[in-house]
């Protein structure tokens, strides 16, 4: 269960309200302008311009609460600096490899923790990720022409982008390999079915390989008792269903990767 839904909101040329003075308000203005938004410093003028987001950075609690209530009554989503209870949304710490962005948030629990996680990732994720993203975007037409089926395209990309794949995001030169990959080496992985015998209901007990299988699966068959926390590790758009009564999920497997999740042994009387 997650406490909030991470979203990327396009702000280019759109009005955004930023209320307040001092360092906190200036930081929010810079952030909005960096994303291409148009800052309005007054609530009424921002509402009239069609704003849908409001950042409130007043130092006084009463003033922040009053403006948050007014903005919310006008249908705006509100972020109030250092006041999580007044926030409809929070602002993550952003690792910028444009157009690839990595957002790290804690739901307002600790901005400092989010920042230091970002700093660690800064040292791991290469600047070339942006180049790779742009190259893949430029090749979308060719990929669609070669693989008209969306599920096929996803499997092709999974194979290329996995660790050690031709387009491994952390490997040097992967962005420069996109054109050759599209021309010569993109291929559909044959249908595959793997079974994961769970040792517990804790998703942290999955091995790295099991977690990768689950994250890439097109279809997930599962025993009824498998915990929701484990099922959440699968792609949101992966098809899911209980294992058939005859237990023969392999026969029913679709093309692509099918994962069968069997519950911990204690649920089967072992």
Sorted by where each begins, the domain ranges of the chain are 1-91, 92-125, 129-185, 192-268
Give the pLDDT confidence of 150-196 residue by residue, as tens digits.
Answer: 878 888 898 899 888 999 999 989 999 999 999 876 655 567 889 99
Residues 195 and 149: their CA atoms lie apart, in Å, by 26
Beta strands in the chain (DSSP E): 15-19, 38-40, 53-56, 77-80, 93-97, 100-104, 192-197, 219-222, 239-242, 257-262
> The pTM is what?
0.72
Task: Give the distance between the most distant pair of CA atoms in the chain.
Answer: 67
CATH topology of domain 192-268: Cobalt-precorrin-4 Transmethylase; domain 1 (3.40.1010)
Average per-residue pLDDT for the chain: 90
Give the pLDDT confidence of 3-45 residue by residue, as tens digits.
Answer: 888 999 999 999 999 999 999 999 999 999 999 999 999 999 9
Enumerate the β-bridge partners of residue 193. Answer: 258
The position carrying tokens 């029913």 is 252
HSE-up of 258 (CA within 13 Å, CB side)?
Answer: 19
pLDDT at 189: 58
CATH architecture label of 92-125: 2-Layer Sandwich (3.30)
What is the percent of the chain where pLDDT is above 90?
68
Backbone angles phi, psi at 252, to 5 degrees: -90, 0
The three-point CA angle 96-127-161 to 5° equals: 100
Q: Kindly write down the DSSP assignment for every residue of 17-83, as one continuous string.
A: EEE--HHHHHHHHHHHHHTT-EEESSHHHHHHTT--EEEE--SSHHHHHHHHHHHHHTT-EEEETT-
Do 1-91 and 192-268 come out as alike in CATH topology?
no
Tokens of 228: 């929701």
pLDDT at 155: 82
CATH topology of domain 1-91: Rossmann fold (3.40.50)
């Amino acid at each position: 269960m997650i406490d909030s839904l991470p979203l990327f909101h396009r702000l280019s040329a759109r009005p955004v309200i930023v209320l307040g003075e001092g360092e906190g308000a200036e930081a929010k203005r810079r952030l909005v302008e960096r994303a291409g938004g148009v800052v309005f410093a007054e609530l009424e003028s921002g509402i009239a311009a069609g704003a849908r987001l409001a950042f409130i950075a007043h130092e006084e609690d009463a003033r922040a609460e009053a403006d948050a209530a007014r903005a919310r009554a006008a249908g705006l989503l509100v972020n109030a600096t250092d006041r999580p209870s007044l926030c409809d949304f929070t602002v993550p710490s952003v690792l910028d490899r444009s157009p690839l962005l990595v957002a790290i948030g804690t739901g307002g629990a600790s901005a400092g923790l989010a920042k230091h996680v970002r700093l660690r990732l800064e040292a791991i994720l290469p600047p070339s990720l942006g180049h790779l993203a742009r190259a893949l975007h430029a090749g979308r037409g060719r990929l669609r022409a070669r693989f008209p089926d969306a599920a096929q395209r996803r499997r092709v990309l999974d194979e290329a982008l996995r660790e050690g794949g031709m387009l491994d995001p952390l490997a040097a030169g992967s962005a420069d390999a996109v054109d050759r990959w599209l021309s010569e080496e993109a291929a559909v992985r044959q249908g595959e079915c793997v079974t994961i015998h769970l040792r517990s209901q804790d998703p942290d007990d999955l091995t790295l390989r099991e977690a990768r299988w689950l994250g890439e699966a097109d279809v997930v068959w599962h025993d009824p008792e498998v915990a929701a926390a484990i099922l959440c590790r699968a792609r949101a758009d992966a098809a899911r269903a209980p294992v058939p009564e005859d237990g023969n999920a392999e026969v029913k497997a679709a093309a692509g990767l099918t994962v069968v999740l069997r519950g911990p042994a204690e649920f089967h009387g072992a």
